[in-house]
Amino acid sequence: MTIAHLLEDFGVKTPVEPVSSFSEELVEEAKLVSFEKGYTAGWDDAVEAKDKEATHVSATLATSLEDLSFTYHEAQSQLMESLDPMFKVLTSVILPDTMAATFGHHVIDHLNEMAKGQINEPMEIVAAAGEGNAIRALLGENPAFNVRVREDASFSAGQAQLRVGQSERELNSEALIESIRDSIDAFSYQFKEESQYG
């Protein structure tokens, strides 16, 4: 047996019909307006989220490009700093030694080039003091053409003047090395200026 008979019943026994003060058209219209408001709010939220995402992606890309640019310039600067001592050794030791060792051959090559078609013309090589014997040795004991070799004390080492007939040519290895040195210095200076001031 249950105890339901002992408890008082507060429920209403008569069915109550809902009183509708709104017409069915007003309810449908309210539902449509509510749907439109919800749809518009959802659309606006989606557009705002897309704009925020695009802004974030743009900012991230800009930061990445700045980092990449900085890394490139940093690597380029380090490369130039490491090459600078090598260029100094190249222009102060290696090039002068190489030019000194090959200067006589260089003179003979230029003389041969100038003598083409002018073998019967008088030929003369004027070299710095102390370099005449080395040039004579390169010409050989019986050269193919008669060449006069003389020394001039006013010439510096690595300087020579060649004459074949009316043609003249001056060779100056020191001036060439100085020109190379100046070009490298100008390049280094230009690079440092561009790096410093962007």
Residue by residue, DSSP assigns 167-191 as EEEEEEHHHHHHHHHHHHHHHHHHH
* Residues pairing with 160 in the sheet: 127, 171
Query: What separation in angstroms does the CA of 99 have from each of 15, 21, 151, 167, 171?
Result: 120, 112, 19, 24, 11
pLDDT confidence tier of residue 168, bands split at 50, 70 and 90? very high
Would you place residue 14 in the very low, low, confident or very high pLDDT band (cuts 50, 70, 90)? Answer: low
Please state the domain extents for the chain: 60-197
- Tell me the pLDDT tens digit for each residue of 26-41: 888 888 888 888 888 8
pTM assigned to the model: 0.53
DSSP structural state of residue 75: H
Q: In Å, how far from its chain's centre is CA 135?
A: 45
26: enclosing H helix or E strand: helix 24-89
- Which pLDDT tens digit goes with each residue over 41-65? 889 888 898 888 888 888 888 888 7
Identify the band that residue 20 occupies on the pLDDT scale cut at 50, 70 and 90: low
Distance CA 131, CA 95 (A): 18
**How far is residue 58's CA from residue 163's CA, in Å, rounded to a whole number?**
69
Of the candidates 136, 139, 182, 130, the residue with the CA atom closest to the CA atom of residue 158: 130
Question: Tokens in use for 91?
Answer: 């222009």
Using DSSP's 3-state secondary structure scheme, residue 41 falls into: helix
pLDDT for residue 75 is more than 80: no
pLDDT given at position 102: 87
